[in-house]
């Protein structure tokens, strides 16, 4: 499962990364949390990789 939705830690607003052009430029680092486990997520995006949120290291809830 590739998460495209996260929660803004400051406002509680849902963030759909598929609707943001250049998310690394527009989203602050460490401001997003997972909508399922409320743990921090990072932005993964590149020339080949479709932008998505990911946990910094594997977590047990992804089962």
Mean pLDDT per 10-residue section of the chain, whose length is 63 residues: 90 96 90 95 91 82 55
> Strands 42-44 and 32-34, how do they pair?
unpaired
What pLDDT score was predicted for residue 57?
75
HEC string of the chain equals CCCCEEEECCCCCEEEHHHCCCHHHHCCCCCEEECCCCCECEEECCCCCCCEEECCCCCCCCC
Whole-number pLDDT of residue 61: 57
The pTM of the full predicted model, rounded to 2 decimals, is 0.80
- What's the number of CA atoms in the CB half-sphere (13 Å) around residue 56? 8
Residue 1: its pLDDT value, please? 65
pLDDT at 11: 96
């Amino acid at each position: 499962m590739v998460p495209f939705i996260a929660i803004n830690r400051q406002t509680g607003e849902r963030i759909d990364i598929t609707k943001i052009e250049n998310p690394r430029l527009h989203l602050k680092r460490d401001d997003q949390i997972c909508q399922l486990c409320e743990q921090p997520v990072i932005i993964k995006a590149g020339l080949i990789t479709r932008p998505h949120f990911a946990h910094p290291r594997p977590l047990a809830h992804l089962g």
